């Protein structure tokens, strides 16, 4: 290379396509060239029309003590009501909300609760008419009809080197559930066989 590369001199060395060329080649090129045409410019637009006709929204009823971030001044007026905390995972979650969002403990406890939650539900499902089915729930059957080999190999994909871990993550809660069941069974059996001797 004989010429001096761009960053060492004042201007870009390689002239790219002109605006006219680009406009001819690319539909809509430059339509939003003027920042004023960009909807999120400037970032804040005080007084923007939103459709709200209230200063502060009415409050939705709180049907159970809703867990909330300690960084909130009070329970916000509207919230989701999916899956209230329950069981051991629910207890961990409620405890996690004692820590602010700034604390690692808050998030790590919530992640731990998520793992416990999955195990609790797998265990519970075994006692129902609709037990968890790892085959249908993981959707692996879609492999057969959707080119499992061709999709993955000879494609220079970077994610094939860790896809083998996925089944382990899926099996984890099952293994834990099985260990839990076995332990419970052992304890029960002991209790039943011990008193009479």
Query: Judged by CB under 8 A, which of 2, 128, 142, 193 binds another protein?
Result: 142
Residue in the block written with tokens 């999709």: 151
Nearer to another protein by Cβ, of 31 and 197: the residue is: 31
> Number of residues in contact with another protein, rule: CB under 8 A?
107
- Which residues lie below 8 Å from residue 157, measured CB to CB, with a gap of 6+? none
Nearer to another protein by Cβ, of 68 and 98: the residue is: 68
Regarding 176 and contact with another protein (CB under 8 A), the answer is no
Query: Judged by CB under 8 A, which of 2, 10, 20, 28 binds another protein?
Result: 28
DSSP structure class, residue 85: -
By the 10 Å C-beta count (0-12 exposed, 13-18 middle, 19+ buried), 153 is classed as exposed
Q: CA–CA separation, 24 vs 4, rounded Å? A: 32
Is residue 73 a contact partner of residue 79, using CB atoms and an 8 Å limit? Answer: no
Query: Judged by CB under 8 A, which of 137, 191, 196, 197 binds another protein?
Result: 137
Stretch that binds another protein, among 164-172, 178-186, 187-195 (CB under 8 A): 164-172
In this structure, the number of other CB atoms found within 10 A of the CB of residue 171 comes to 12
Instruction: Give the end-to-end CA distance of the chain in Å, rounded to a whole number.
Output: 93
Binding mask 92-131 for another protein (x = CB under 8 A): -x--xx---x--x--xx-xx-xxx-xxxxxx-------x-
Residue 184 CB, nearest approach to another protein (Å) = 20
Regarding 50 and contact with another protein (CB under 8 A), the answer is yes
The first and second tokens of residue 186, run together, are 């052992």
């Amino acid at each position: 290379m004989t010429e001096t590369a761009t960053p060492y001199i004042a201007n870009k060395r390689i002239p790219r396509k002109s605006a006219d060329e680009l406009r001819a080649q690319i539909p809509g090129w430059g339509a939003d060239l003027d920042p004023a045409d960009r909807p999120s410019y400037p970032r804040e637009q005080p007084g923007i029309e939103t459709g709200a006709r209230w200063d502060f929204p009415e409050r939705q009823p709180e049907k159970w003590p809703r867990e909330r971030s300690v960084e909130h001044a009070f329970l916000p007026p509207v919230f989701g009501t999916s899956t209230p905390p329950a069981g051991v995972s629910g207890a961990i979650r409620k405890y996690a909300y004692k820590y602010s969002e700034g604390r690692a403990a808050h998030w790590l406890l919530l992640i731990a609760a998520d793992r416990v939650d999955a195990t609790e539900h797998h265990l519970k499902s075994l006692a129902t008419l609709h037990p968890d089915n790892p085959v249908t729930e993981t959707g692996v059957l879609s492999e057969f009809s959707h080119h499992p080999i061709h999709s993955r190999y000879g494609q220079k994909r970077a994610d094939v080197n860790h896809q083998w871990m996925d089944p382990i993550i899926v099996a984890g809660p099952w293994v834990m559930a099985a260990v839990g069941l076995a332990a419970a069974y052992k304890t029960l059996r002991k209790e039943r066989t011990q008193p009479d001797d």
